[in-house]
């Protein structure tokens, strides 16, 4: 909010015991979803922090801050399994840093011109648009995988796309680097827009992986497992930079970040354990459902912001309150659905696995 | 599956360290909040005893609002980064051990 004499007030929320418990719970579910779908579950955290009253810029900044050390731990772990293309991750991370810096300028420009509510509107708008697009693609992917599953060819790996083959065939002298993940040489010129866009998105909604991961798979030809692992390197590099840039703007609320982290670290490991018991198509389905639901939580807030900024006729207090209530209800629903899907997959899977093991053991004993 | 004593001790040990870090952060949460707001020039105004930090300020503007002008110290930005790193590290080890103790494991 702009105050007298052009000064800006960016408030951190009061952390009451209820808010703290909600943050931990939301972090837990966000982490679980993150671990389950491989990366990017933090997308539920930005709207949740905003629903609890944090301005858009603080929610994004604190979300980025809670993510980067976790990304480092994840990257180191998955590097041990040989899933990380470190060089590609660092190069993309470097260009992502430029994207984050540019995006942060956009955000602070909006903050200076329209105050904290301006950043609320900006974050919400980008959020709704991104999740609608990505959620739609994920749903399409799910249907394809499901069809393969039904035809009994579920575990088949998909061949690299035609675009990726073309990208790998373009040789521009002096710009080529070898990507271990793609097992081919790729021109840095292709990496600039991918990295930049990833960083820009991260600066706006705290999740850049929505661009980074599919781009590495479809445009560069990395296998999905290496793309999500390499994304962790990018997330670390741009998360560290993003925390610095936003921290210098006084927008990183470490209390928010660590409470989310507290729940998320428990959740992420549970989610990761869960994936080992389910089919790929189930993971995609969960991801699509959560994305397409959660976007509406922000959608219902937008009219209120527009009214507040005078861009539309201001809504009555009761209408704004009802819309906020609906938005929060949708968010709660998305979180409950997410938690239920992951936990039920985990427990059902574990039970089935135990029964299978018991049958095998009995079989061996009979031999 | 029985969990050996060593795992229990390690889980408890990392749990205590992690809890200690959280307690430290929340005991000094006002200090951390102040550090976060004062990476840039800030005007601290007390409204009904609640501190409010205003950014994009000058000493003159701040004086007009009867606030306390605080000159920004950019390297305070490392405070949240250090806390985030330390907590992820200790808490990450603790949660890994925790799920082992509880008995939830990935399918082999």
More confident residue, A41 or B31: B31
pLDDT score at A3: 46
pLDDT score at B17: 95
CA nearest to A261 within chain B: B88
Average pLDDT, chain B: 87
Other C-beta atoms lying within 10 Å of the C-beta of residue A74: 25
Chain A residues within 8 A of B15 when measuring between CB atoms:
none
What span, in angstroms and rounded, lies between the C-alpha atoms of A164 and A88?
15
**How high is the ipTM of this complex?**
0.88
Average pLDDT over residues B18-29: 92
pLDDT one-digit tens code per residue, A31-65: 888 888 766 667 888 889 999 989 989 999 999 99
Three state DSSP letters for chain A:
CECHHHCEECCCCCCCHHHHHHHHHHHHHHHHHHHHHCCCHHHHHHHHHHHCCCCHHHHHHHHHHHHHHHHHHHHHHHHHCCCCCHHHHHHHHHHHHHHHHHHHHHHHHHHHHHHHHHHHHHHHHHHHHHHHHHHHHHHHHHHHHHHHHHCCCCCCCCCCCHHHHHHHHCCCCCCEEEECCCCEEEEHHHHHHHHHHHHHHHHHHCCCHHHHHHHHHHCCCCCHHHHHHHHHHHHHHHHHHHHHHHHCCCCCCHHHHHHHHHHHHHHHHHHHHHHCCCCHHHHHHHHHHHHHHHHHHHHCCHHHHHHHCCCCCCCCHHHHHHHHHHHHHHHHHHHHHHHHHHHHHHHHHHHHHHHHHHHHHHHHHHC
Contact B84 A273 (CB under 8 A): no
CA nearest to B35 within chain A: A250
Please name the member of A112, A252, A266 whose beta carbon is closest to the beta carbon of B95: A266
Contact B107 A277 (CB under 8 A): yes
Residue of A247, A251, A346 to mutate for B, most B C-beta atoms under 10 A: A247
Contact B40 A266 (CB under 8 A): no
pLDDT one-digit tens code per residue, A7-25: 888 788 888 899 999 999 9
- Indicate the Cα dihedral angle A130, A331, A19, B13, nearest 10°: -70
Contact B61 A5 (CB under 8 A): yes
What span, in angstroms and rounded, lies between the C-alpha atoms of A365 and B14?
41
Chain B residues within 8 A of A16 when measuring between CB atoms:
none
pLDDT score at A367: 67
For residue B49, pLDDT over 80 is answered with no
**pTM for the structure as a whole:** 0.87
Partner B contacted by A265 (CB < 8 A) = yes
Chain B residues within 8 A of A12 when measuring between CB atoms:
33, 36
pLDDT score at A197: 96
pLDDT score at A1: 46
| Contacts with A84 (C-beta within 8 Å, 6 or more apart), sequence order | A75, A78, A226, A229, A230, A232, A233
Please name the member of B54, B77, B104 whose beta carbon is closest to the beta carbon of A7: B54
pLDDT one-digit tens code per residue, A176-216: 999 998 889 999 999 999 999 999 999 999 888 888 988 99
Chain B residues with CB under 8 Å of a chain A CB are 22, 25-26, 29, 32-33, 36-40, 42-43, 52-57, 61-62, 64-65, 74, 77, 79-81, 83-85, 87-89, 91-92, 95-96, 98-99, 104-107
Flag residues of chain A having pLDDT under 50: 1-4
Partner B contacted by A363 (CB < 8 A) = no
């Amino acid at each position: 909010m702009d105050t007298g004499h052009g000064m800006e007030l960016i408030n951190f929320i009061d952390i009451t015991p209820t808010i703290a418990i909600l943050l931990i719970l939301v972090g837990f579910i966000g982490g679980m979803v993150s671990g389950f779908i491989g990366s990017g579950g933090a997308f539920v955290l930005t709207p949740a922090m905003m629903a609890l009253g944090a301005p858009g810029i603080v929610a994004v900044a604190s979300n980025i801050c809670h993510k980067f050390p976790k990304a480092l731990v994840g990257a180191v772990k998955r590097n041990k399994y040989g899933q990380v293309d470190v060089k590609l991750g660092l190069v993309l991370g470097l260009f992502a840093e430029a994207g984050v810096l540019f995006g942060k300028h956009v955000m602070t420009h909006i903050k200076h011109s329209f105050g904290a509510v301006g950043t609320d509107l900006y974050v919400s708008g980008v959020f709704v648009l991104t999740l609608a697009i990505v959620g739609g693609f994920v749903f399409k992917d799910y249907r394809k995988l499901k069809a393969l599953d039904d035809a009994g060819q579920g575990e088949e790996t998909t061949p690299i796309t035609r675009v990726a083959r073309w990208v790998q065939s373009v040789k521009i002298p002096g710009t080529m680097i070898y990507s271990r993940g793609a097992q081919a040489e790729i021109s840095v010129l292709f990496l600039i827009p991918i990295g930049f866009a990833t960083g820009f998105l991260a600066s706006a909604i705290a999740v850049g992986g929505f661009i980074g991961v599919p781009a590495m798979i479809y445009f560069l030809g990395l296998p999905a497992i290496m793309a999500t692992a390499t994304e962790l390197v990018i997330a670390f590099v741009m998360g560290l930079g993003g925390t610095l840039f936003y921290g210098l703007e006084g927008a990183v609320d470490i209390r928010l970040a660590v409470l989310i982290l507290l729940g998320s670290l428990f959740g992420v490991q549970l989610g990761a354990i869960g994936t080992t018991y389910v089919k790929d198509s189930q993971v995609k389905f969960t991801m699509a459902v959560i994305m397409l639901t959660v976007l509406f939580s922000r959608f219902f807030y937008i009219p209120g912001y527009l009214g507040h900024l005078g861009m539309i006729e201001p809504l009555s207090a009761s209408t704004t309150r009802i819309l906020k209530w609906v938005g929060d209800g949708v968010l709660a629903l998305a979180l409950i659905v997410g938690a239920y899907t992951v936990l039920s997959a985990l427990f059902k899977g574990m039970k089935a696995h135990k029964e299978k093991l018991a049958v095998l053991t009995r079989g061996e004993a009979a031999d | 599956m029985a969990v050996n004593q060593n795992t229990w001790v390690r889980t408890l040990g990392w749990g205590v360290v992690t809890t200690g870090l959280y307690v430290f952060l929340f005991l000094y949460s006002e200090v951390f909040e102040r550090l976060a707001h004062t990476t840039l020039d800030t005007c601290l105004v007390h409204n009904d005893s609640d501190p409010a930090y205003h950014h994009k300020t000058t000493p003159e503007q701040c004086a007009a609002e009867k606030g306390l002008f605080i000159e920004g110290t950019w390297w305070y930005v490392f405070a949240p980064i250090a806390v985030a790193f330390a907590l992820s590290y200790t808490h990450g080890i603790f949660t890994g051990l925790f799920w082992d103790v509880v008995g939830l494991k990935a399918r082999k």
